[in-house]
């Protein structure tokens, strides 16, 4: 039997396969909910100890493009989502910790989920991919940026706030001493600039480490010099 030729009048169509979003697009940060209650991220770091859990204060909670809500923490040279910390040798997220009640838990607090839902309802994310700021939150955890100055000496600058840009990038905002016109310096002040724009920027430190370095602790100073001068 001769196969039937559908001819030019056939209505058959070839449908394109749905485009798959890359892992980077799925993990894009859309909006932030500041952490005001001192909650911490628990993590393992087997290079330090195979038996202990360590705690680091959470900067904020974020809604990602894939719908997940995750904790964000300043981590070395950037801001990490808790799901990015997945290597026990260098840092593996292991839940959350409330230092006030000494309670460990694994679920994102409901009030942060509600807050992020509300923010996104009132200010949906744009489809642009530029570096325009869409949200700015104050730093509530005492973050510091370690910067190598022109004399090749390190200085520790307090982070005033954090900007979230359209492209999902987080920027730590520092105060330029030459441009300060009023105190205290608050989020959105014209004297602020992004730490990443300073060619001498190296790492972020939380307040307890920064204070040890400022107080001249020998071990902390050696560790900082090793990081800045590998």
- DSSP classification of residue 191: T
Residue 209 has pLDDT above 90, yes or no: no
At residue 121, what are phi and psi to the nearest 5 degrees?
A: -70, -40
* CA atoms of 205 and 195, how far apart (whole Å): 13
Residue boundaries of the structural domains of the chain: 24-125, 127-230
Categorize the per-residue pLDDT at 51 as very low, low, confident or very high, splitting at 50, 70 and 90.
confident
Residue 141 has pLDDT above 80, yes or no: yes
Check: CB of residue 46 under 8 Å from CB of residue 88.
yes
Of the listed ranges 31-40, 153-162, 217-226, the least confidently predicted one is 217-226
CB-based contacts of 227, cutoff 8 Å, min separation 6:
146, 202, 203
**Structure confidence at residue 53 (pLDDT):** 93
**Structure confidence at residue 10 (pLDDT):** 44
**Structure confidence at residue 58 (pLDDT):** 97
Is 224 or 138 the better-scoring residue by pLDDT? 138
Any idea what the Cα angle at residue 52 is, between residues 224 and 50, rounded to 5°? 85
Scan for tokens 């105060």, then name that residue. 175
Categorize the per-residue pLDDT at 131 as very low, low, confident or very high, splitting at 50, 70 and 90.
confident
The pairing of beta strand 29-34 with beta strand 91-98:
unpaired
Is 3 or 26 the better-scoring residue by pLDDT? 26
> How many other C-beta atoms can be found within 10 angstroms of the C-beta atom of residue 176?
14
């Amino acid at each position: 039997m001769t196969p039937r030729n559908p001819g030019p009048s056939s209505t058959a169509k070839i449908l394109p396969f749905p485009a798959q979003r890359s892992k980077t697009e799925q993990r894009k940060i859309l909006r932030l909910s500041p952490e005001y209650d001192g909650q911490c991220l628990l993590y393992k770091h087997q290079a330090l100890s195979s038996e202990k859990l360590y705690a680091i204060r959470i900067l904020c909670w974020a809604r990602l493009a894939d719908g997940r809500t995750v904790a964000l923490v300043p981590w070395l040279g950037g801001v990490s989502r808790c799901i990015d910390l997945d290597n026990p040798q260098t840092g593996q997220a292991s839940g959350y910790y409330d230092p006030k009640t000494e309670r460990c838990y694994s679920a994102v607090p409901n009030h942060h989920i509600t807050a992020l839902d509300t923010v996104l309802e009132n200010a949906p994310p744009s489809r642009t991919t530029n570096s325009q700021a869409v949200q700015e939150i104050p730093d509530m955890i005492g973050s510091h940026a370690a910067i190598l100055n022109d004399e090749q000496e390190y200085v520790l600058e307090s982070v005033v706030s954090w900007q979230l840009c359209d492209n999902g990038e987080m920027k730590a905002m520092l105060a330029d001493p030459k441009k300060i016109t009023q105190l205290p310096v608050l989020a959105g002040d014209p004297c602020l600039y992004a730490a990443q724009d300073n060619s001498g920027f190296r790492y972020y430190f939380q307040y307890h480490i920064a204070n040890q370095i400022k107080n001249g602790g020998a071990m902390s100073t050696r560790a900082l010099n090793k990081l800045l001068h590998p």
